[in-house]
Amino acid sequence: MSSYVRFAEVYDLLMQDVPYNDYVEWVKKNAPTDNYPKLLDIGCGTGTLTIKFHQAGYDVSGIDLSEEMLSIANERVSQQGISIPLFQMSMDELEGFHQFDVITIPIDSINYLEDEQSVIETFQRVYEALRKDGQFFFDVHSLYKMNEVFMQSPFTYDDGNILYIWHTEEGEEEHSIYHQLTFFVKDHVSNQYNRFDEEHFQRTFPVEYYEEWLYQVGFSQVEITADFKVEKPNIDSERIMIRAIK
């Protein structure tokens, strides 16, 4: 599991291509912002999407496991001159949150849970934190992305300020992967590059497993699409989008 200690420093630059606005539109289309609904953003990271939810009209709170990520998120929220409560907590140990209209776990954050029981426990705690008819939105890597796309490493990135080399290795568990990243970040004072290394573990499951577990904990309706489209996933879909209603 990643500590995200140094990774938090470069996270935003590496997430520039994430379709945050599409994510907000997906949620807003299904959960309109009438009456300022309460939204809990789990795995909020550095707060980019969290702030966008606030700007879209939600009463937002956020949680993340990483203290470093939350520090950046708090600074960003302060710079915006807005108020968003942020808490340090693991998603599978979620507690103290009640009667939320919407809960999100975006950008494949669930894939950082290492086993089936942690996923089910997360679903159970999300269910308990929602009001009746509340909605749960999350996305996961598809089997195709995990087993084929990620196996095409190494991947590289270089914008002159940050360079990384990203290797992947198949994990011991089915549909799991280790991401091994080496970063070189430019120090503009010394004009030299500082190196640090990160290892991340992710695991995904077949779509029907997620669906079964959601119904198992009590959700009454589950909708599954892919890649921010209205169509069902196909063989080469990469991001599975799941909406569940309590």
Give the tens place of pLDDT for each residue, 101-146.
999 999 999 999 999 999 999 999 999 999 999 999 999 999 999 9
pLDDT score of 1 more than 70: no
Q: Which CATH number among 1.10.357.10, 1.10.10.10, 3.30.1330.10, 2.20.25.110 corresponds to the domain 145-203?
A: 2.20.25.110
Q: Where are the domains of the chain?
A: 7-141+206-245, 145-203
- Give the model's pLDDT for residue 6: 60
Tokens 């995200």: give the residue: 4
Find out whether 150 and 163 touch, Cβ atoms under 8 Å.
no
Cα separation values, 216 from 7, 27, 106, 123, 135, Å: 35, 23, 21, 9, 16
Find out whether 216 and 195 touch, Cβ atoms under 8 Å.
no
- Give the model's pLDDT for residue 3: 46
pLDDT score of 5 more than 90: no
Look at residues 60, 37, 225 and name the one whose alpha carbon lies nearest to residue 137.
225
How high is the mean pLDDT of the chain? 93
**CA 66, 53, 204, 142 torsion-angle sign:** negative
Give the pLDDT confidence of 83-100 residue by residue, as tens digits: 999 999 999 999 999 999
Find out whether 138 and 112 touch, Cβ atoms under 8 Å.
no
- Written as six digits, the tokens of 107 are 């950008």
Domains 7-141+206-245 and 145-203 in one fold = no
Look at residues 67, 68, 39 and name the one whose alpha carbon lies nearest to residue 55.
39
For residue 18, count other CB atoms closer than 10 A to its CB. 14
The verdict on domain 7-141+206-245 having CATH code 3.40.50.150 is yes
pTM of model > 0.95: no
User: DSSP label at 32?
Assistant: -
- Give the model's pLDDT for residue 17: 74
User: DSSP label at 173?
Assistant: S
Rg of the chain (C-alpha set):
18
